Amino acid sequence: MTATPTTTTTNTAAALGRPGAAGNDRGHGFRRGWVGTAVTHLCLIVGVVLSIFPFYWLLVMSTSTNAEIFGYPPSLWFGGNAMANVASVFSNVDMLRALLNTVIVSGGTAVLVMVFDSLAAFAFAKYEFPFKRTLFTVMLATFLVPGSLSLVPSFVLMAKLGWIGGLQALIVPGAANAFGIFLLRQFATGSIPNEVIDSARVDGAGFFRTWWSIAVPMLRGGLAFLGIFTFVTAWNDYVWPLIVLIDPKGQTLQVALAGLSSVNATDLGAVMAGAVISVFPLIGVFIIGSRHFIANIAAGALKG
């Protein structure tokens, strides 16, 4: 006789929002959500630490002596030999000249790639012309060719042009690539409306005017990414500059650092100091270029 009123009272309390089964479910859901958030943040923190630690360790070794680097257990804090290591770098290698050469090669290659790849991508994405699909397929097929196979033909071509030993032999061969064209074509297909191009044609704008006034601003995010990627790739290139640049005074940074390693085979502190010097310009380029890339992504998210 007493069970029925108790059940009715409990159901009524739950319906009115009083503490009961519903409150317990909400409490369990809150705890599960808190645990999931904590695990997510912990994984992010671990990922950030693992990503930053190699660069931190590079900085530590660049300030240490060989005895400190090879010591056991290894020291995880900065040493006091930073200035001596930097002085050893500049006394054995013409770092300023190598930095200037690398900036010229990387910057020139990045600019040319952004210009030529965006022109080709814009044409493939928004214009019709004979053999369009065939040309695009042939271009994509170049992805299947290893870069090492082109070293000998490229060297022969540079020798025919008389460019061996000059920086133009590093800039011109990398002025366009299939990856950049494919990437920007995907950007252009999704971000440039056909109606805008038709309006530009009605106003009398030609291909280059339409490309400069419409395509380039709308492809800013893709161009920023491609520019950063190309700059970093050219900056870190070692094999092709080693083959082409026969003048020791005209070397790029990576070739110069390889020479530093051979000169100071046991002075790892100087080698690491040279590596640190080569990394900082890349960080600056990434900070400058990533602003445009992230801003474009944010604008696209707001539009969506």
Mind listing the pLDDT tens digit for each residue in 35-87? 778 888 889 999 888 888 888 888 888 888 777 777 777 777 887 778 888 88
Task: State yes or no: pLDDT of 185 exceeds 50.
Answer: yes
Can you read off the two tokens belonging to residue 235? 């900056």
62-78 as b/e, with b when 16 or more CB fall inside 10 Å?
Answer: bbbbeebbeeeeeeeee
Q: Where are the domains of the chain?
A: 19-81, 93-263
**pTM, 2 dp:** 0.79
pLDDT band at 220 (very low <50, low <70, confident <90, very high): confident
pLDDT band at 123 (very low <50, low <70, confident <90, very high): very high
**Res 26: pLDDT:** 57
pLDDT reported for residue 12:
45
**Residue holding tokens 């000169």?**
263
Mean pLDDT within 23-33? 58
Mean pLDDT confidence for 202-212: 89
Is the pLDDT reported for residue 205 higher than 80?
yes
Assess whether pLDDT exceeds 50 at residue 10. no
Q: What is the mean pLDDT of residues 256-278?
A: 75
Q: What pLDDT does residue 25 have?
A: 56
Pick the CATH number of 93-263 from 1.20.120.450, 1.25.40.10, 1.10.150.250, 1.10.3720.10: 1.10.3720.10
Confidence of residue 287 (pLDDT cuts 50, 70, 90): confident
Task: Give the rounded distance of the alpha carbon of 38 from its chain centre.
Answer: 29
pLDDT of residue 17: 46
Amino acid 7: pLDDT: 45
Residue 23 — pLDDT band, cuts 50, 70, 90? low
pLDDT above 70: percentage of residues in the chain: 83
Burial class of residue 253, CB neighbours in 10 A (0-12, 13-18, 19+): buried
Enter the tokens of residue 50.
């693992």
pLDDT, one tens digit per residue, over 90-99 is 888 888 888 8
**Average pLDDT over the chain, rounded to an integer:** 80
Token pair listed for 272: 């690491």
What is the model's pLDDT at position 115?
Answer: 95
Write down the pLDDT at residue 16: 44
